[in-house]
Amino acid sequence: MEELLNFKPEVGIKVSLFISEPKHAGVISQQEAEDLGAKLFTYTYGSEAIGEQTTWYWAVNSEDDTILLARYTYFGPPTGIAAYDMLALLCKNKSVQDATHMTYKGLERFLRDNPSTPALAPSDNYVISLALDSVLEASKDYYGVALGREDLTLPCKDTPMSLSTIKRSIKLHNIQTLQALKQYTKAGTTDTRCHETLETLLLDNKKVIEVKKETTADVPDIPFREMDNKQRIIAVNKVVDVSVREFLVMDGGDVEILDVKENGENLDIYIRYLGACNGCASSSTGTL
């Protein structure tokens, strides 16, 4: 508590407000959940010994698994409050499954004051990763998913992230160095004994990337109209990846590029909406 009281904001206005005035911190009582016609679900992620502990409280509609209310208790650095408070807000009225579709880039952008300025210092990026991982682990517990060996293995004593989650983070953020890995996962920050394991994971990922480069066709540096159809589809997919896919996935949907056809002076792009996007308003109006 003393750490929170003495915290001097070196972040944006939005993050500072979340830290000083969190709207969703606290617990949900059994009675409060029952009053909402919901069941109470709780899950604790991490531990105080690690320096990161969060307990999620969800009031869940048992008929469709919708999170009607989300709160949390938290032990960790102050910037984590902003990540968890925003995440609690975003979880509300989503199904437990859809809550796991929220992305790092999406959550980080929600915390920004303006689109061009990162919400957090690089050394604090990991709090977003941990917040998202806590929801993923909570959902597994909610659905009773059997955990594999890598899911149960914690290679470092300074992060609650499992071996499988660290490997996924390396791939997601294209992490090349141990320093960058610390920033996104906290792994190896104080526990130097796991550095060898982490370096091996980084090397394995580099090998996978090299193989992928050799087998994946690159988009040639030529005008779009001069590309063949396969190249056009790859080019469109790259634009979608950068601009909109993360937000579709965060809402439980996605989009597949089916074809690109010439139509006189125009080029028509045929797509198929997937997941929650299938049947939504955008799928009939073509707002993409």
Mean pLDDT of 147-152: 94
Which residues make Cβ contacts (< 8 Å) with residue 127, sequence separation at least 6?
A: 76, 77, 79, 80, 82, 83, 120
- pTM exceeding 0.75: no
Most confident of the ranges 10-19, 97-106, 229-238: 97-106
| CA 110 to chain CA centroid, nearest Å | 12
Do 11 and 66 lie in one domain? The reply is: yes
> For position 242, what pLDDT does the model report?
73
Mean pLDDT computed over every residue of the chain: 89
Do 73 and 126 lie in one domain? The reply is: yes
Do 138 and 151 lie in one domain? The reply is: no
> For position 5, what pLDDT does the model report?
45
> For position 4, what pLDDT does the model report?
47
Do 4 and 137 lie in one domain? The reply is: yes
Cα–Cα distance for residue pair 166/56, rounded to 1 Å: 21
Do 45 and 33 lie in one domain? The reply is: yes
Q: Tell me the per-residue pLDDT of 86-104, one tens digit each, with 9 for 90 and over.
A: 999 999 999 999 999 999 9
Mean pLDDT of 176-184: 97
Q: Tell me the per-residue pLDDT of 27-70, one tens digit each, with 9 for 90 and over.
A: 999 999 999 999 999 999 999 999 999 999 999 999 999 999 99
Which residues make Cβ contacts (< 8 Å) with residue 66, sequence separation at least 6?
A: 60, 93, 94, 95
Do 153 and 29 lie in one domain? The reply is: no
Q: Final residue of a domain: which of 216, 245, 263?
A: 216
Mean pLDDT of 165-178: 94
Do 191 and 277 lie in one domain? The reply is: no
Q: Tell me the per-residue pLDDT of 188-227, one tens digit each, with 9 for 90 and over.
A: 999 999 999 999 999 999 988 776 665 455 677 788 888 8
Do 136 and 18 lie in one domain? The reply is: yes
Question: What residue type is assigned to position 16 of the chain?
Answer: S
pLDDT band of residue 136 (cuts 50, 70, 90) is very high
Do 192 and 133 lie in one domain? The reply is: no
Cα–Cα distance for residue pair 80/83, rounded to 1 Å: 5
Do 6 and 134 lie in one domain? The reply is: yes
Range of the domain at 169: 146-216
Do 4 and 131 lie in one domain? The reply is: yes
Do 252 and 265 lie in one domain? The reply is: yes
* Count of structural domains within the chain: 3
Report the 10 Å Cβ neighbour count for 26: 12
